[in-house]
Structure 1
Amino acid sequence: MATTLNRQDHQPVYVLHTYPFKETSLVAELFSRDFGRMAVLAKGARRPRSAMRGMLQAFQPLQATWSGKSELKNLHGMEWGEGLLLLQGEALMCGFYLNELLLRLLPREDGHEALFTYYSQTLRNLAHQAAPLASTLRRFELKLLQELGYALPLEQDVAGQEIAPDQSYYYLPEQGAVAGRSAAQTNGVQLSGATLLDMLSDDYSNPQTQQQSKQLMRLLLAHYLGDKPLHTRQLLMDLQAL
């Protein structure tokens, strides 16, 4: 419960990123279930005997206690949550990609409980290879944009007509699917209606859907991220064009 110092106890969190602060401390960017993205100062966390030194790890369910009224809170303690995870190889790189997306797109101190739950499940899917990695990324990218309030109409085109599976469309950021336009007339991505309907029904089994959904999400994320590219996106492209 919050106190006059805005203390929050045992809040479910994940570590998105850490960086050194002064000689012995760390600043940790956390994804909190109830408070969204938080920045906390872990004093003395770089000291060899620090209790938090080995706990500020990405992808692990944790519980954090912090206080403070400024944007940078004081971290008082960490505890392990349930179900420790091990991400390896390409799945590990995918996890870092998810974290970079959250760091870049999530506003500070804006809770997204449903997204937190979905992120947690996505990490488990990555750890256990529960689905093809590329499909796992597409699902999370779509969920992230939807949770942040960016409309992605998949069922109707910009004219309000139902998407036809055999129709070709160009998808435009912040607008949607446009039928019957040439590549020279738009900066969108060309795809089939079947791809949009597959994404709507969360079905990425079709190779065409896999390829076109990747192109669509690249376009949309680039639009919302701006000029600064994602470091992990390039690494994933170098690996297997995920």
Structure 2
Amino acid sequence: MSFPLANDDTQSDADPAALERSLGQENTPKSQASGDGRRRGATDRRAKSPERETRISAQPAFVLHSYPYKETSLIVDVFSRDYGRVALVAKGAKRPHSKLRGVLQTFQPLSVGWTGKAEIRTLTDAEWIGGLLPLEKAALLCGFYLNELLVKLLARDDPHPGLFDHYVATLNQLAHDEPAPIVLRKFERALLKETGVAGTLSMDSVSGQPVISDETYVVDPERGPRPAHASDNSPRVSGKTLLDMEREDYTDATTQLQSKFLMRFLLAHHLGGTPLNTRQILIDLTQL
């Protein structure tokens, strides 16, 4: 099972450009693509840079998403600890007797290897490590939500070892039936911090003073908390909620409720309007 991405490409003869688009790679602006010969030459030299001629082995990783490529292969989007998100071609993975067939599963710790210099590289090895309980029922849906967030918010080849460790811990918490709303809020906040778009919630961005517990605020996605005004359309939260979120304390029921709507608002902003398919399912089914 994989979460539904709006730009999946399941055609058997997908070309490289289509694969790049389907994995979320940004297109080169026309102004850059139409430069002079000197600029193109520089681009060619960058493409042949030795540092891209990589052979990686025994890298801790998780499958985030996969889909068919040609008749017998898969394109696999993995989240690796030391290299971030990497797109890999798993050749022959769809064949009935392929060793990869039962290994490339979501939410299972893997040790993977790959080679190649392109944006989409070639999987050379994948081994199941184990050590995590499988996700079931609502926890499974939460896991797909985490994966969709990572696919849509993380750039490829951008390492986040701390976030990787947080992801592992989050899967473990979900597997052990810890309260999903609290687990998800902590991960959402960690993800925005790791990608550099979340500042402190404990300081008023207008006055520069500490947030006051019994005051009401809104959070500007680019600047941070500020006092709420009557004309504001964004979610209103108490100073206490912001302070609780800053120290990852979600025991208060009001903090849980306000943080849910605040994080939904912030994620929507940073996704640029791109819908989260699994988030809508969670809203409809479990109100997480």
Q: Secondary structure at the match of 1:152?
A: coil
Residue of structure 2 equivalent to 1:123: 171
Distance 1:170 1:85, change over 3 A: same
Q: Are 1:96 and 2:158 counterparts?
A: no
Q: For the Cα contact (< 8 Å) 1:66–1:76, is it kept in 2?
A: yes
8 A contact 1:15–1:56 mirrored in 2 = yes
Identity in percent: 51
Coordinate RMSD, CA, aligned: 1.4
Between the two proteins, the alignment pairs up a number of residues equal to 238
Using structure 2 for the length normalisation, give the TM-score: 0.80
- Where does residue 250 of structure 2 map in the other structure? 204
Moved over 2 A (4+): 2-5
Separation of aligned partners in 2, 1:151 and 1:96: 23
Instruction: Provide structure 1 residue ranges, at least 5 long, that are not aligned to the other structure.
Output: none
Q: Deviations along 1:52-84, whole A, 9 cap, x unmatched?
A: 001110000000010000011100111112403
Q: Paired residue for 2:160?
A: 112
Q: CA deviation at 1:241?
A: 1.1
> Are 1:137 and 2:137 counterparts?
no
Distance 1:8 1:180, change over 3 A: closer
CA distance in 1, matches of 2:217, 2:60: 42
Partner of 1:234: 280
Deviates more, 1:21-30 or 1:157-166: 157-166
Go from structure 1 to structure 2 and tell me whether the alpha carbon gap of 1:55 and 1:180 turns closer, same or farther (over 3 Å shift): closer
Is the 2:78–2:87 contact (alpha carbons within 8 Å) kept by the matching residues of 1?
Answer: yes
Cα contact 2:79–2:85 (8 A) shared by 1: yes
Structure 2 CA distance, aligned partners of 1:226 and 1:64?
32
TM-superposed deviation, 1:47: 0.3
Residue 266 of structure 2: which of 220, 223, 230 is its match? 220
Question: Which residue of 142, 148, 152 maps to 2:195?
Answer: 148
- How far, CA to CA, are the matches of 1:41 and 1:180 in structure 2? 49
SS of aligned partner of 1:7: strand
CA gap 1:3/1:219 in 2 versus in 1, 3 angstroms: closer
Asked if the contact 1:172/1:187 (under 8 Å) is kept, the reply is no
The corresponding residue for 1:189 is 235
